[in-house]
Amino acid sequence: MSFLALLLTLIFVLIPLILSKTLRLGLEKDTLIATVRSIIQLFAVGYVLQFIFESENMLYIFLMVTLMIGAATQNARKKGASIKGITWKLVLTFVVIEVLTQGILLGLQITPPTAQYIIPLSGMVIGNSMVLGILFLNRFTSEVASRREETELILSLGGTPKQAIQKSLLASIKASTIPTIESQKTIGLVQLPGMMSGQIIAGADPLKAVMFQLLILFLLLTTAIVTSIMLGFLSYPTKFTERMQMIE
């Protein structure tokens, strides 16, 4: 794509601006901010990636992944504000997911150990893990609240905190993992996954693009279930005191 072509794509920004103005939707300011931010952020990432790809230095890859984990933690921790030590629990979860998935990918030589593979795949895994983490934390908070009486009943009869919260825990793990599984059932039927579309447009062989897309889908299944299970088992003890009492 030429620079002129890119400039011309700004027409797609002008259309909403004009429509918003004439219909007084008041979306002009946000549209402009979004446009400017996406241009700056994506070009910045592009240049950084270009730099890292050319240098092929593992240290830069490591820094990039660390940055991703930091940003994901920052985003997800707000949802878990009621859980003590949520920050390090999220960090631990993201690190385990990253090490686990890259360990398998690189260890079995499924993908080559280059920045070109490690960075985008890590980005997808950590990004999805973050979304899953937020989903899980939302669900867990509401499950615990709605099953309060049940949890207390089990405690009152001499159950451990784990026995008392088991139903809430399993229900939230299940509920947060289901969308990932469900979305994979219809994938390709309604719309092509974004990354696959991008690859095809960039000139890749469609079947190769499909193979990569499958790799990512399977990767995300592991990401989803490991994230919610890990966060679940790290979080539930914070709902109880040392004397096995429920915390508000």
Partner 1 sequence: MEKQQAAIYLNSVTYRAGEKEILHEITGTFAKGKITSVIGPSGAGKTTLFRLCNGLLSPDSGRIQIDGRDILSLDPISLRRQVGIVLQQATMLEGSVRDNLALPLQLAGEDLSEEEAARIVQEVGLDTDILDRDSKSLSGGQKQKVSIARTLLNRPQILLLDEITSSLDRVSKQDIEKLILQINREYGTTVIWITHNLEQAKAVADQVWVMMTGEVVEAGTADLLDHPEKEAVKQFVKEEEA
How far does CA 87 lie from the centroid of its chain?
Answer: 16
Q: Per-residue contact track with partner 1, 149 to 188, x per CB under 8 A? A: xx-xxxxxxxxx--x-------------------------
Q: Which runs of E-coded beta strand occur in the chain?
A: none
| CB-based burial, 88-111: b 16+ in 10 Å, e otherwise | ebbbebbeebbeebbeebeeeeeb
Query: What six digits make up the tokens of 235?
Result: 């979080």
Q: What's the burial of 224, exposed, middle or buried (CB within 10 Å: 0-12/13-18/19+)? A: buried
245 in contact with partner 1 (CB under 8 A): yes
The nearest distance, CB 144 to partner 1, in angstroms, is: 15
Whole-angstrom CA distances from 41 to 6, 78, 201, 214 are 16, 23, 22, 28
As a whole number of angstroms, the distance between CA 243 and CA 248 comes to 14
The nearest distance, CB 241 to partner 1, in angstroms, is: 8
Residue whose CB is less far from partner 1, 49 or 171: 171
The nearest distance, CB 137 to partner 1, in angstroms, is: 24
Residue whose CB is less far from partner 1, 38 or 241: 241
Q: Per-residue contact track with partner 1, 120 to 149, x per CB under 8 A? A: -----------------------------x
CA-CA-CA-CA torsion sign (49, 51, 57, 59): negative
Look up residue 111 and give its amino acid. T
Total residues at interface with partner 1 (CB under 8 A): 17
The nearest distance, CB 182 to partner 1, in angstroms, is: 24
The nearest distance, CB 142 to partner 1, in angstroms, is: 18
Residue 122 near residue 65 (C-beta atoms within 8 A): yes
The nearest distance, CB 181 to partner 1, in angstroms, is: 24
The nearest distance, CB 225 to partner 1, in angstroms, is: 24
Residue whose CB is less far from partner 1, 114 or 160: 160
244 in contact with partner 1 (CB under 8 A): yes
Whole-angstrom CA distances from 40 to 35, 43, 105, 169 are 9, 5, 32, 41
Residue whose CB is less far from partner 1, 54 or 242: 242
Residue whose CB is less far from partner 1, 55 or 241: 241
237 in contact with partner 1 (CB under 8 A): no
Would you say how long the chain is, in residues? 248
Contacts to partner 1 by CB under 8 A: 149-150, 152-160, 163, 241, 243-246
